[in-house]
């Protein structure tokens, strides 16, 4: 599949599954999941330094050999998101930022107005901005217009595992996007990821579905296979849906066993 | 002087710098994935030693964790 | 995955994707699809011998190294299905039969009454019967009760590509089946196959979705990955669906950048 | 005598067997995936030579094709 | 709407909602629901006579002025269903029978084989047979072929309130039926009934959704309005679904407020 | 139902169906639809005066006795929407405005950023603002926070007839709204309207589904009944959905016809 | 003689009829929605009086209830 | 002077008012559902007569139609 690489802002990736590192019970399970997923890119967050913490997640990710995509999780305003992005640039020495500006702590849904403001400011400050957004096609277009390097629409709320609640909106976003579309949030299992890729997403970000599964490594592998399956299927040209059946076995040439006056 | 570090009030001697705070928190000098904001502005690692705090300064020292 | 083999009537298979051989433009595309799918078992049909035909499909399947599962496609009565099964036993030297008795040539849906009658007769005649059935849980139970070695409920009509129209019925069949449940008919793309496996199917049979795709080999590979993804996800213990969000990034430890009286 | 082979009327000499029909259709003796029903009953390959047709017999000779 | 009457076996009804009388807390609530629903036909069942019972449901139904449709609820075999139908004919002096032959006491789904056998025997015995059936189009066709006066496919299991699980199958049944199609079982609320009628059902039977609602009379009225709404909508010729928008307000004639060089 | 009135900004309405007046072939069909729907409130738009036009729509609406709700259809910026609202206030002598600010002429979806800006400005200018919005719960909350008198989320794009694409988002909006929630756009037929009301919407706005139906008056009546059905059902306390069946006919008291040694 | 009525064993005198059972159960003669099966066969109301039970007879007396 | 009325260029004599435009368009004085914007600002009916246009003025006269 190396011929079919994901490209974002000039960087290329063989894997189309981005792994979120939140929710793992420990670093060992995270490492196993990274390997099982074949992930090349993982999100990380920033929180107040805990002096008692032993070992940095960065050591784990380095050992596994994945690159880091910092996020601004937990920010409710453009201002806090921008400051957090600047801290991330300092902490991780990368201009890439997964921009999250949420409007609400029960749904964790993005706040459209603050999100656009933050995206604009960060693009101007030279960041490569990958915004977590709703499935609103107009908002996605606005984010692309202000210079985001990709758009990351949700399928359903973070951690909800409800999959893609509105495939119609997602497909409209994909049809009209000039930048990569990465499904972010809502994936609950492998088929959700496959479906997203079949709709034409360029990649899938998955965190809770893997980190909180009973067997994270197995689910990481499953979601990774789902992403590959969906990507391949997207390119293979699926059959059209039809209300009635179409025989897969030819109908002509059926033998006729019955005959008038033949005793059986 | 009185400052706030990661939400907790601290008493520092006059002339204390961002570096002093880092030291106070036992952060290894080369610690990875650490960054600092002073009164809402990021202070790059290279300027920790020279950047002085003032009365009421708000210091946030953050580090990488699993997320999103 | 060799630890996780499909078992039907005492035979074991590493692959959980059964390939239908109908609808391929030529034998070469069929061979490519078999290899891409990693199929071990393929269905074949019987039709009046065509003296002008060049080369038997059996040579192709033998070369690829897959085993043959004959079907009774096109039969409308128990009587014709039984005779066709006996011809298949003679032609292919196997007691295995994928039993199809349809009620209607537009929907190609099974005829419950004729199907049960044929299954009973074939089981008594020593066949290993794998019946293509509707998604009716009571009918599936009846087929198991008369001694079928597996049940093959449809997701939607043959060749319709509509996927699983009634996941509820499929899951009820799976919950109560004592024999392998193989999704037959309706798969349109890889995510349909993944979904079926996540629901707990033991295998998936796929024909038109692969043979009639724009690129059959690519779709064969995609569906095969989808089956593996779904099987793994089924065992990995997915997260529960929830209406509201659950943060994947910890909420505690958020920095607070704003302070009374601090100019910015 | 008159028989029907795969739906088409055929004229065969008396005493013709299933094997004669196979020959008539140019089916290679060892052809794979071929089976025959005479008047709705399967005739196993081993009995092709000895099984005689009768007036009005209905012969179906089938072979493997891609399907289902 | 009297111009648009439901006709079954030569009888006509103004109301297209048939009310099931099971599950009501008491006779008074049943009477209220009958009136609120404007029902003309109600199902009743037969059970061992309870000498302690005070007042017959028949008195209630007579007072409300509805006609009685006996059922064979609880029968697992054609034989018991036929005997029960004969008892019903004796008890209610009607040839009409809602035929139920179930295969399973957890799903209460019909048993196709026993159902067809019972239907055939009862039609021969001069009954007007209205069979409760699955959503299998082939089975529905068989029931019509043996002489049933209507077919009553389920939307989902009795009392499940899941609505119409497989609208595709229901619409196929309707397209090809030569007798009235009455949705039976699965209705959970008014919109389910409206949807069934929009698909082209001739009537809806509803029991638990009304009798077990918090306010049975209100729900009876709601479902009745839903049936009328769906029937009207079915005849009104709905707009086609389209992926993109179509303005309801004309786009031409938009004023242009902005002008070069005009200060605001 | 007069006990159950819709209240918006201090005005009360007996009908919970707001009729859009766009798309009717002529004024007579509009008048018939208004009457059939029992509408009390109808939207109207403003366009450049056409000197050749004969008769004003206002005369029709006055004759039918409905009140007017002007909209800002066709505006792409907050600025144009505000100017249009001011023109509407002058033209119709009402402070009420259905605020539409769209981002795109193929989807006609709202532009979140411009919409919030316009809403804020109009509320400050003393308008009673009813904004057409997406199904984004955070955006709906923002609109309520800036002082809108109701929120009008879409079910799907204007004129698409796709119904409610994301019932989850709609229900979240309803759960948390402190102002009336009116489903706007997407209704294709009566059951869509019933469903919206069952979810807890306070009212439904419907234009194309009625004006472009084959028989607008019949569809107007159907949608009106659907709204009433859904409203009643919402209050009646529907039964819970359950995967398995619950008998509506008591299981105890079943007769047993078979007996050892009794010849039949 | 021993019979079973609605699942319960009953002792009846020889010559007892379906009508005797109805009486025994206190069913009003004109009771609505009542029907009876004797050994799996329906006995119409008009024949209750003349239809005799026999040793081991199975009587089912059913009545209308709310249902389905 | 040159003005634009509903998108079309018009030549008006100096001192022309909003009312002149209304007249020019044959709009009945009491016409319902009509409103006017001059250079992006609404001119209420009461001020039509007194409000003068200027060179390059942009006049939009709108009326009610069926919509949304």
Give pLDDT tens digits for A99-119: 999 999 899 999 999 999 999
CB contact under 8 A, C111 and E138: yes
Indicate the length of chain C as a whole number: 264
Q: Can you give the pLDDT at residue F263?
A: 38
Collapsing DSSP to helix, strand or coil, C201 comes out as coil
Nearest to E191 among F45, F191, F250 (CB): F191
Residues of A with a known catalytic role: 98
Nearest to A222 among C73, C232, C251 (CB): C232
Stretches where chain B sits below pLDDT 50 are none
Instruction: Kindly report the average pLDDT of chain F as a whole number.
Output: 93
pLDDT tens-digit map of F105-133: 899 999 999 999 999 999 999 999 999 99
Q: Quick: pLDDT tens for B21-34.
A: 998 888 887 788 99
Q: Which of F16, F89, F98, F199 is catalytic?
A: F98
Does pLDDT of G1 surpass 70? yes
What is the pLDDT tens value at each position of chain C, 264 positions in all? 457 999 999 999 999 999 999 999 999 999 999 999 999 999 999 999 988 877 889 999 999 999 999 999 999 999 999 999 999 999 999 999 999 999 998 999 999 999 999 999 999 999 999 999 999 999 999 999 999 999 999 999 999 999 999 999 999 999 999 999 999 999 999 999 999 999 999 999 999 999 999 999 999 999 999 999 999 999 999 999 998 888 888 888 899 887 543 433
- Measured CA distances, F140 to C261, F77, F143 (Å): 33, 19, 5
pLDDT above 70 for A78: yes
Q: Are the CB atoms for C196 and A191 separated by under 8 Å?
A: no
Facing residue for B64 by CB, picked from A23, A58, A83: A58
Q: Is the pLDDT of residue D29 over 80?
A: no
D window 8-37, beta carbon within 8 A of C? 25-27, 31-37
Whether the CB of C250 is below 8 Å from some CB of chain B: the reply is yes
Note the pLDDT tens digit of each residue in E39-95.
999 999 999 998 887 788 999 999 999 999 999 999 999 999 999 999 999 999 999
Query: With an 8 Å Cβ cutoff, are D66 and C92 in contact?
Result: no
Q: Give the pLDDT band (50/70/90) at residue F251.
A: confident
Partners for C (CB, 8 Å, 3+ pairs)? A, B, D, E, F
The stretch A206-227 carries a mean pLDDT of 97
Using one digit for the tens of pLDDT, what is the confidence trace for A13-69?
A: 999 999 999 999 999 999 999 999 999 999 999 999 988 877 889 999 999 999 999
Greatest Cα pair distance in chain H: 40
Q: Is the pLDDT of residue H31 over 50?
A: yes
What's residue F264's pLDDT? 39
Q: Which residues pair with A12 in a beta bridge?
A: A7
Give the tokens for residue F195. Answer: 């469903």
Average pLDDT of chain A to the nearest whole number:
93
Reported as a single tens digit per residue, the pLDDT across A139-162 is 999 999 999 999 999 999 999 999
Contacts for C111 with CB less than 8 Å, ≥ 6 apart = C76, C101, C102, C103, C104, E138, E142
Residue G26's pLDDT is: 85
pLDDT higher than threshold 60 for residue E263: no
- CB-facing half-sphere around the CA of C186: CA atoms within 13 A: 30
Q: In the predicted model, is pLDDT for residue G33 greater than 50?
A: yes
Taking any CB pair shorter than 8 Å as contact, residues of chain C touching chain F are 168, 172, 243
**Tens of pLDDT, residues E182-223:** 999 999 999 999 999 999 999 999 999 999 999 999 999 999
Cα–Cα distance measured from residue A81 to residue E248, given in angstroms and rounded to the nearest whole number: 40
**Element (H or E) spanning E61, and its range?**
helix E57-64
For F196-224, write each residue's pLDDT tens digit: 999 999 999 999 999 999 999 999 999 99
- Report the C-alpha gap between E217 and E224 in whole angstroms: 11
Confidence of residue G68 (pLDDT cuts 50, 70, 90): confident
- ipTM of predicted assembly, 2 dp: 0.92
CA distance A241 to A239: 7
| Separation CA F254–CA F250 (nearest Å) | 9
What is the reported pLDDT for C14?
96
For the segment E50-64, what is each residue's pLDDT rounded down to a tens digit?
888 778 899 999 999
Structure tokens at G54: 């026999």
**Separation of alpha carbons F111 and F117, rounded Å:** 10
Q: Is the pLDDT of residue A196 over 70?
A: yes
Q: With contact defined as beta carbons under 8 Å apart, do C51 and D28 qualify?
A: no
The Cα–Cα gap between F126 and F115 comes to 17
Mutate to test the interface with B, among A22, A23, A44, A49 (most CBs of B within 10 A): A49
- Give the residue from chain G lying closest to F255, CA to CA: G60
Length, in residues, of chain B = 68
Contact A88 B42 (CB under 8 A): no
pLDDT tens digit sequence for F147-192: 999 999 999 999 999 999 999 999 999 999 999 999 999 999 999 9
Instruction: Decide if B21 contacts B1 (C-beta within 8 A).
Output: no
Measured CA to CA, the distance from residue A113 to residue A101 in angstroms comes to: 9
Query: CB of E118 within 8 A of CB of E78?
Result: yes
Q: Is the pLDDT of residue F261 over 50?
A: no
Query: What is the structure's pLDDT at A197?
Result: 98
Pick from D58, D60, D65: which is nearest to A250 by CB?
Answer: D65
Tell which wins on pLDDT, A125 or D27.
A125
Look at residues A92, A94, A54, A52 and name the one whose alpha carbon lies nearest to residue B33: A92
Q: Where are the strands (E) in chain F, listed by range? A: 6-8, 11-13, 17-20, 41-48, 67-70, 96-99, 128-133, 152-153, 182-184, 203-206
Distance (Å, rounded) from C-alpha G7 to C-alpha A15?
70
Candidates B15, B1, B2, B5; CA nearest to B39 is B5
CB environment B26-44: b (16+ within 10 A), e (fewer) = ebeeebebbbbbbbbebbe
With the CA atoms of F122, F123, F124 and F125 taken in that order, what torsion angle do they form, in degrees rounded to the nearest 10? 50
- How confident is the model at residue C264, as a pLDDT? 39
Which residues are bridge partners to C48 per DSSP? D62
Helix, strand or coil, per DSSP, at residue A206? strand
Q: What integer pLDDT is reported at residue C247 of this predicted model?
A: 85
Residue of C nearest to A258 (CA): C80
Least confident of C202-211, E217-226, E252-261, G44-53: E252-261
Q: How confident is the model at residue F259 (pLDDT cuts 50, 70, 90)?
A: low
Helices and strands in chain F: count of H runs, count of E runs: 9, 10
Chain E residue numbers touching C138 (CB-CB < 8 A): 102-104, 107, 109-112, 134
**Chain F residues near any Cβ of chain A (below 8 Å):** 102-104, 107, 109-113, 116, 134-139, 141-142, 156, 162, 165-166, 168-169, 172
> pLDDT tens across D3-25, in order?
999 999 999 888 899 999 998 88
Read off the DSSP letter of residue B45. G
What pLDDT score does E259 carry?
55
Residue in A63, A61, A66, A16 with CA at minimum distance from that of residue A40: A66
Mean of pLDDT values over A178-196: 97
Strands D58-66 and D34-38, bridge-based pairing: antiparallel
pLDDT at F257 exceeding the cut of 60: yes
Regarding chains C and D, contact by 3 or more CB pairs under 8 A is answered as yes
């Amino acid at each position: 599949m190396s011929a079919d690489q994901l490209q974002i802002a000039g960087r290329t990736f063989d894997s189309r599954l981005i792994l979120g590192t939140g929710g793992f019970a420990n670093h060992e399970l995270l490492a196993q999941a990274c390997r099982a997923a074949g992930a090349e890119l993982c999100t990380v967050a920033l929180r107040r330094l805990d002096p008692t913490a032993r070992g940095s997640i960065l050591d784990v990710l380095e050992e596994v050999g994945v690159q880091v995509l910092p996020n601004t999780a937990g920010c409710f305003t453009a201002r806090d998101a921008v400051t957090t992005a600047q801290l991330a640039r300092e902490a991780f020495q990368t201009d890439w930022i997964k921009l999250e500006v949420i409007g609400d702590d029960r749904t964790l849904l993005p706040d459209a107005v603050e999100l656009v403001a933050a995206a604009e400011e960060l693009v101007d400050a030279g960041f490569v901005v990958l915004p977590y957004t709703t499935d609103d096609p107009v908002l996605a277009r606005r984010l692309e217009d202000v210079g985001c390097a990709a758009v990351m629409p949700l399928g359903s709320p973070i951690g909800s595992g409800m999959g893609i609640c509105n495939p119609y909106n997602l497909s409209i976003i994909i049809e009209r996007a000039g930048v990569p579309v990465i499904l972010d949030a809502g994936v609950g299992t492998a088929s959700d990821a496959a479906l997203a890729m079949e709709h034409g997403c360029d990649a899938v970000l998955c965190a809770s579905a893997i980190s909180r599964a009973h067997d994270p490594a197995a689910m990481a592998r499953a979601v990774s296979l789902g992403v590959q399956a969906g990507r391949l299927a997207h390119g293979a040209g699926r059959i059209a849906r039809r209300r009635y059946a179409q025989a897969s076995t030819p109908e002509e040439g059926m033998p006729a066993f019955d005959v008038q006056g033949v005793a059986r | 002087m009185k400052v706030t570090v990661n939400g907790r009030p601290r008493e520092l001697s006059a002339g204390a710098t961002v570096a002093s705070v880092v030291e106070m928190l036992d952060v290894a000098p080369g610690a990875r994935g650490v960054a600092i904001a002073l009164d809402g502005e990021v202070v790059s690692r290279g300027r920790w030693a020279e950047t002085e705090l003032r009365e009421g300064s708000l210091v946030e020292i953050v580090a990488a964790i699993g997320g999103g």
